Amino acid sequence: MEAIATGKSHRMLFFNTLAFTICFAVWTFNGVMITFLVDNGIFNFSAVQIGWLLGIPILTGSIFRLPMGILTDKYGGKWIFFILLLFCAFPMFMFSKANSFSDFVFCSLGFGFAGTGFAIGIANTSVWYPKHWQGRALGIFGVGNAGAAVTTLIAPSILKNLTDGNLLEQWRILPQIYAASLIIMALLFLFFTENKKHSIQGRTMKELLKPLKSIRVWRFGLYYFLVFGFFVAVSQWLVPYFVNVYAASLVTAGLLASIFSLPSGLIRALGGWMSDKWGGRTVMYWVFVVSIVAALLLSIPRMEVFSPGKGINALKKGTVTFVSDSLIKVNNKDYKVHLKELSDENLDKDALMIFPTKAAWQVPIVKVGDQIKKKQLLAKGVTKIYFQANLWIFAILVFIIGIAWGIGKAGVYKLIPDYFPNEVGVVGGMVGVIGGLGGFFGPIIFGYLLEYTGLWTSCWIFSLILSVICITWMVRIIKRMNAGVSTEIAQDIEHK
């Protein structure tokens, strides 16, 4: 590996990042396209069919990351990336000819391979940089995640302009534009990049896959399942979240969702620099801390909770002589009742409320003529606790957790070349597979949790649990190493 980062290294980084951005935009294409087709009644897919069409590209791009990483290590990134871009252009173009659910499935399976561009780019970037530059280089490369925001923000506008006057057919131009972008990128990669391989010549497939026996690989994969997989999952989940919880329009929901996805993709470069400066492990520790705090705050649902409150008790025995909503008389003793209207009017739900707000009132439960004993309840108390979960505070917290996960994506891939310098492709591919599966299974898990609990915030509760698991595992390893265990023994412990 070169001792310093050269102009050639930076040129390769630029083209790797550009290609990955296009691949990521293609990978998330169905999120916009299928939604548009169904919302406009062009195709009447069921909710189950829509779910599969959204998930199929993510699944394909995830499970094939490992073999593509191995191929990149063996043959070099130039040719593997070039072939991938050309290959994905064909099913993307055929998407424009699709007329049935099965057509869309097969096309989605094909262009879903664009998701493997991550494993290719990781290996093809790391091979050009020395160890002290790995974090920054891989962090900059990871900015390509912003391709998801590119599709979310730009594709709807293109569709709107294309379909003005001919809704049924003009939408087919968009996948053709995407296919042309893939071909153009393939040609740029062919003419302006160079090939370089990791030193794996002569090694068998068994030797290449040997690092996967290390529990460390799977631990890194769990980290990436959270910071990348849930990034993809939440990016999709936030639109229906904003619509259902805050009654936002689809356009507004999309813009608010971009507050999460766009910065999370762009911040990855900063995460790479931070990982180089302070180390991947330190960065990941604080990523998990921020994730836990933000997810905990986001887990509190928007709610109105009613509970028994402070009532009115008789001070002495007697007979009830008068009862109204505001007053109870027992013999000559008056008991003022706190009216609901006077209490509840303080809950201005349109005002900014950061903390839960309380309202309390009383309801008479006796009638004229009742014989009352001392300390008997005359009016029951009612307390209402209202938590607004203000939209803008929610958006800020979503922005914060997105930033944390974006930095974490770089932190994980700083750890890989540190521990597996000659197997970046295969290890990075496996970690990418696990992370990608988080993007596939995340929305499914969120959906089941929503159905079971009835709480939209259940997705954040699950994120909180997973964040706690990640930091607990990390701290456990660090404590063992800090307890005076030698490096070799510590690594042996981690394998058990």
What's the pLDDT at 489?
44
173 and 33 belong to one structural domain:
yes
Residue 2 in domain: no
CA distances from residue 354 to 297, 301, 396 in whole angstroms, order as listed:
11, 13, 12
Count of domains observed in the chain: 2
The residue out of 387, 405, 423 marking a domain boundary is 387
φ, ψ (nearest 5 deg) of residue 387 = -115, 120
Which residues, given as ranges, of the chain have pLDDT below 70? 1-5, 47-48, 165, 198-211, 249-250, 341-354, 388, 425, 484-496
The pTM of this model reads 0.72
Q: 22 vs 83, 129, 336, CA distance in Å?
A: 14, 23, 70
Burial class (CB in 10 A: 0-12, 13-18, 19+), 135: buried
Same structural domain, 148 and 168:
yes
> In this predicted structure, what is the pLDDT of residue 496?
37
Is residue 453 domain-shared with residue 466, that is, in the same domain?
Answer: yes
At 112, list the tokens: 């879903």
Q: Assign 130 to helix, strand or coil.
A: coil
Residue 1 lies in a domain: no
Instruction: Say if residue 407 is in the same domain as residue 431.
Output: yes
- 248 DSSP 8-state letter: -
Residues 149/279, Cβ–Cβ less than 8 Å: no
Under a CB-based contact definition with an 8 Å cutoff, are residues 373 and 314 in contact?
yes
Answer yes or no: do 321 and 414 share one domain: no
In a domain, 23, yes or no: yes
Angle at 173 between CA 169 and CA 178, to 5 degrees: 150
List strands edge to edge, sheet with 371-372: 333-336, 327-330, 318-323, 371-372
> CA 383 → CA 205, 307, 309, 339, distances in Å?
67, 5, 5, 12
pLDDT for 343: 53
Nearest CA to 447 among 55, 151, 108? 55
DSSP letter (8 states) at residue 36: H
Task: Note the pLDDT of residue 485.
Answer: 52
> Is the domain of 308 the same as that of 254?
no
Whole-angstrom distance, CA of residue 334 vs CA of residue 314: 10
Q: What is the DSSP letter of 457?
A: T
Residue 425: the pLDDT is 66
403 within some domain: yes
CB within 8 Å of 162: residues ≥ 6 apart: 170, 171, 173, 174
Quick check: is 29 in a domain? yes
Straight-line distance from the first to the last Cα atom of the chain, in angstroms, rounded to the nearest whole number:
32
Distance of alpha carbon 91 from the chain centroid? 27
Structure tokens at 361: 């009132």
Residues 412/196, Cβ–Cβ less than 8 Å: no
Largest interatomic CA distance in the chain = 102
CATH code for the domain of 204: 1.20.1250.20
Statement to judge: residues 188 and 55 lie in one domain: yes
Q: Do both 136 and 48 map to the same domain? A: yes
d(CA 425, CA 11): 20
* Domain shared by 80 and 148, yes or no: yes
Range of the domain at 308: 303-387
Same domain, 325 and 289: no
Residues 156 and 187 in one domain: yes
Domain ends where: 387, 415, 449? 387
Q: Is 202 exposed, middle or buried (0-12, 13-18, 19+ CB in 10 A)?
A: exposed
- pLDDT value for 36: 81
CATH number where 378 lies: 2.40.50.100
**162 domain residue, yes or no:** yes
List, for residues 87-129, the tens digit of each pLDDT value. 999 999 999 999 999 999 999 999 999 999 988 998 888 888 8
If asked whether residues 368 and 476 sit together in one domain, one would say no
DSSP letter at 484 equals T
Complete DSSP assignment for 388-454:
---HHHHHHHHHHHHHHHHHHHHHHHHHHHHH-TT-HHHHHHHHHHHHHHHHHHHHHHHHHHHHHH-
User: What pLDDT score does 488 carry?
Assistant: 40
Q: Which of 387, 410, 445 is the last residue of a domain?
A: 387
